[in-house]
Amino acid sequence: METDNKRKSTFSAISINRITAERFRAYSKIVSRSHSETIDAMIDFFEKTKITPRNEVMISFIRFQNYVIGRFDYLEELLRTMEREQIIPTHDMLKSLFDGTALRKKEQPLLVDKMVIRMTKEEWDMEEGKVSFERYHDVIKARGKDRRVFSKVLDSITKVEPTFGKTYFKLEIDETELDGIRQELSGK
């Protein structure tokens, strides 16, 4: 009895961090009426269960608990993804089939009203990709000229196989021929 009276009346100060003290005061209000009773309850718990915060069993249990929580988070995300990507679209498709909305054709509005636009024949031909005969003939002539020039260049290429190193191709054209080819291609 004397130890209980002595215990209740005698106090001692402990220096702890201010943030830790605030956390302890908030926790103490939940657990018991006074700070001393809270600390006594905590010490009794650790002594009876023979657990310390640095105990290997406790550390491995916390690791396992974190692992299980992580797996549950993964499963939850997997189920949400499956619902979003598979279940809801399938449900919507079946619902539209049973409601009959899938059988109705939706009329899509025209992007441009053809009755409002008035174009000339040349504009219609351009829109449809048609080309006039003169323009087509000019393109064919230009291609033929390009082929002749290209064949000249191909004829002047020779293969060189040196004793050392890789083989390469050499273009044997003098400056006057090169200028002539440039003029033919540029149309001057």
Split the chain (188 residues) into runs of 10 and give each run's mean pLDDT. 56 88 91 88 87 79 90 93 91 82 64 63 68 71 71 81 84 83 71
pLDDT for the residue 99: 80
Tokens of 27: 């926790």
* Angle, vertex CA 56, rays to CA 50 and CA 62, nearest 5: 95
Radius of gyration over every alpha carbon of the chain, rounded to an integer in angstroms: 45
Secondary structure class of 120 (helix, strand, coil): coil
Q: Which residues pair with 169 in a beta bridge?
A: 159
pLDDT for the residue 22: 93
pLDDT for the residue 7: 53
Q: Which strand (E) or helix (H) includes residue 130?
A: none
pLDDT for the residue 107: 67
pLDDT for the residue 156: 81
Helices (H), the chain: 2-9, 18-31, 35-49, 56-82, 88-99, 121-128, 133-155, 175-186
